[in-house]
Structure 1
Amino acid sequence: MHPVWAASLLLLCSACGPVDVLGADFLGRENARKYIAACARSTTDVYCKALLPTLQSVSGEVTVILVTLGDEDRTAAIELEMRRQGLNMNGFVGSAAADRFARANIFLASRVASGTMTSLDGKTHTVTCSRDARNTDVCLIDGMVREHNANDGVPDAEGNIFVTDRVLRF
């Protein structure tokens, strides 16, 4: 590598934190806020971009409902709910609908657990969890959204990502 390019690369990377350099795919989910921030840097990830402003406006431990199939599938999950409401995705990020989406899919809790949980939008959700064959809690939210807490058993985890294939209604 030419010395000028090497020096430029070093200068560029010195301004970045580890999350900036790595991105969400390499970061891991140990810190829910950092994971969503890294995910939001993707040029195509509408889901995380919509979550980020609301997530930044609250303090404390959070659990974020995250569709984990990929950027296009995350967008499709939001789009499905938007169509149910008679809306479309035009101008979604930064809109009132994006804030409603984020508040419906964020809990001020360290993990999803059996019982009644309240999302940031004030709606209560019935959660039932049971152990699967791998001894992992698999939870069902409102009888619709099913999967698991990604940070279960992770030491020093900050918040949680609840991985699933659909969003909570907003």
Structure 2
Amino acid sequence: MVGLLWDDVKCFFDPDVMGSLPDVRVPDTSVGDWQVVLDLIAEKGWKCQYSEGGTVLPVPRAEAVLSRPADAECPDLRVWPTPDVLAIFRFRAADEVDFDVDLRELQGQDRLDVFCGFLREIGRRLGKPVLMDPEGDECHPVLGFDVEADRVVVLADSLSPPRTATRSSPA
């Protein structure tokens, strides 16, 4: 099975077009799905770090994290599927598993393969699509894990960069 080729999809990994931190998400999830993702991270032995308000803590059960008060600071879970690729999961709501990746870390075929493998692991385990949208635009996924195809595919209408993406401003 041939995966995505860098030369065919590199426009979707351009931080000036997509934003540095595109939105990656699994829609229509539950607390149980979040727990499946946490279990997968532990099972795969991916390095991770959970924190609340800057305090590093042991990774809790999904139910505990997602039942925090609405006004509590949003915790995050940093996951490194490889030492040079980071995904930051945000526990905003039970109905969507969402995380950010830094496109500056995903340049070239090797890093693309790591990213696609990560999406594939999550999508297969959940049996759900995993979608990547331009930063701040959760309506136009450009690529993602397709459950029926059992692989990461291009979802944009064409291979030209999305027009709706906004350029990230420096922090």
| Bigger helix fraction | 1
Q: Which has the larger radius of gyration?
A: 1
Q: Same fold (TM over 0.5)?
A: no
Report the TM-score when normalising by structure 2: 0.28
Q: Which has the higher contact order (CA 8 A, sep 6+)?
A: 2
| Bigger strand fraction | 2
